[in-house]
A and B are shown apart, each in its own frame.
Chain A
Amino acid sequence: MAETTHTGQLNRPDGWRGIAADWASDQRAFKNVSWGKAMMWIFLLSDTFIFGCFLLSYMTARMSTRVPWPNPSEVFALRIGGSEIPLILIAIMTFVLISSSGTMAMAVNFGYRRDRRKTAILMLLTAALGATFVGMQAFEWTKLITEGVRPWGNPWGAAQFGSCFFMITGFHGTHVTIGVIFLIIVARKVWRGDFDIGRPGFFTSRRGRYENVEIMGLYWHFVDLVWVFIFAFFYLW
């Protein structure tokens, strides 16, 4: 909707007056945000509620059971070099995902500087880190399943542990997987120079812009953000 406004300067009030003025104005409330970015934010908001409900139901299950909750610190420990290190795999997964968020932020930055090569490489690096994360999650799932964790029970305590674990981490892993696919698609477009020549997209037939990299970045950072909450509430609590 760049065509609706022609002035460069955003001559609008700030603060509370700004909120009232922006929301009460006709046509668009988010004055300097494109529709693509605004819609991604609204999608992420709805996704926040989905994950919020998962974590809430996990909280309710954990608070209402008479049976002790399995200690995640021991459940997710790995034996490395003869000693049990608590939660080590989860810690590594956290660092991998944070690294991918960092490379994504850099990719967005280089995208706006029209540095196609660096943008594409950083996006592919982000995708590789994301795929590593999913791989480690698959390893974790396999380990727990062989140890006897099922959605209806586990050897260590409250039966709800398994269903909460598979539901929350499974849904998050799905998000990461979709993000990796999405990243590879956008990286290919950047590499080919689609955003420089305004080539129509294969699905929407609309011209992309380098802002697409930032919108992709919003999704990716959100995936990292959700992991921050899962790490805190499910693994550390």
Chain B
Amino acid sequence: MAEATANGLGQHALHPHDGAIVAKAETHQEHPIKLYLVVWAWLFVLSACSYLVDYFGLHGYLRWSLILIFMMLKAGLIVAVFMHMAWERLAMMYAIILPPILVLVFVAMMVFEADYTLLTRIAFFGPGP
């Protein structure tokens, strides 16, 4: 994204010899409209793909992995471009993106818990009706 300018930082880059310029340290980004349109189009394509997974009735691991891939791609595009995370400093990215990843530990715990619940239910009530 070489053409994207971070306002504040970018002003300096534009006027390297103008020492008097006082830009705000807080930055915001201005990107060409085209970037948003491209991402928008990709989000449409990816949504259509994930819908087609259901439409064609794919099953098993193929279905689940395709759903997860399309989901992660869409989420990544939204966070990185629409929410401008790709241009933030690393301290910010890690503060926001790392904690939700730790939820996966909770997921693992609940998978064991759910398996155990199912096991006890089958043991006491027999297999499903």
On A, residues with C-beta under 8 Å from B are 1-2, 5-10, 14-16, 18-19, 22-23, 29-34, 38, 41-42, 44-45, 48-49, 52, 56, 59-60, 63-68, 73, 86-87, 91, 94-95, 98-99, 101-102, 104-106, 109, 112-113, 211, 214, 217-218, 221-222, 224-225, 228-229, 231-232, 235-237
Q: Are A94 and B100 in contact (CB under 8 A)?
A: no
Q: Closest B-chain residue to A30, C-beta based? A: B92
Would A98 and B47 be within 8 Å (CB), given that A19-B94, A30-B92, A106-B36 are in contact?
yes
Q: Which of A10, A63, A73, A94 contacts B115 (CB 8 A)?
A: A63
Q: Are B118 and A65 in contact (CB under 8 A)?
A: yes
Number of residues in B with C-beta < 8 Å to the partner? 69
10 pairs of A and B residues whose beta carbons are closest in the complex: A8-B23, A63-B114, A22-B91, A64-B117, A102-B40, A66-B128, A232-B71, A5-B25, A64-B114, A91-B51
Q: Are B12 and A101 in contact (CB under 8 A)?
A: no
Within 8 A of A (CB), among B23-53: 23-28, 30-31, 33, 36-37, 39-40, 43-44, 47, 50-51, 53
Q: How far is the CA of A91 from the CA of B47 in the complex (A)?
A: 8
Q: How far is the CA of A55 from the CA of B67 in the complex (A)?
A: 15
- Minimum Cβ distance to chain A for residue B108 (Å): 11
Residues of A within 8 A of B107 (CB): 56, 59
Would A66 and B125 be within 8 Å (CB), given that A45-B96, A98-B44, A229-B71 are in contact?
yes
On B, residues with C-beta under 8 Å from A are 7-9, 11-12, 21-28, 30-31, 33, 36-37, 39-40, 43-44, 47, 50-51, 53-55, 57, 63-64, 67-68, 70-71, 74-75, 78-79, 81-84, 88-92, 94-96, 99-100, 103, 106-107, 110-111, 113-115, 117-118, 121-122, 125, 127-129
Q: Are B129 and A32 in contact (CB under 8 A)?
A: no
Q: How far is the CA of A132 from the CA of B91 in the complex (A)?
A: 37
Q: Are B100 and A45 in contact (CB under 8 A)?
A: yes
Q: How far is the CA of A101 from the CA of B74 in the complex (A)?
A: 12
- Minimum Cβ distance to chain B for residue A188 (Å): 22
Residues of B within 8 A of A68 (CB): 128
- Minimum Cβ distance to chain A for residue B91 (Å): 4
- Minimum Cβ distance to chain A for residue B57 (Å): 8
Q: How far is the CA of A99 from the CA of B41 in the complex (A)?
A: 10
The interface residues of chain A, by DSSP majority, are classed as helix
- Minimum Cβ distance to chain B for residue A152 (Å): 17
Q: Which of A8, A15, A60 contacts B12 (CB 8 A)?
A: A8
How many residue pairs between the two chains, A and B, have CB atoms under 8 Å in the bound complex? 189
Q: Are B114 and A59 in contact (CB under 8 A)?
A: yes
- Minimum Cβ distance to chain B for residue A208 (Å): 14
Residues of A within 8 A of B117 (CB): 60, 64
- Minimum Cβ distance to chain B for residue A105 (Å): 5
Q: Are A109 and B12 in contact (CB under 8 A)?
A: no
Q: Are A8 and B22 in contact (CB under 8 A)?
A: yes
Q: How far is the CA of A49 from the CA of B100 in the complex (A)?
A: 7
Q: How far is the CA of A21 from the CA of B10 in the complex (A)?
A: 23
Would A19 and B82 be within 8 Å (CB), given that A94-B47, A95-B44, A95-B47 are in contact?
no
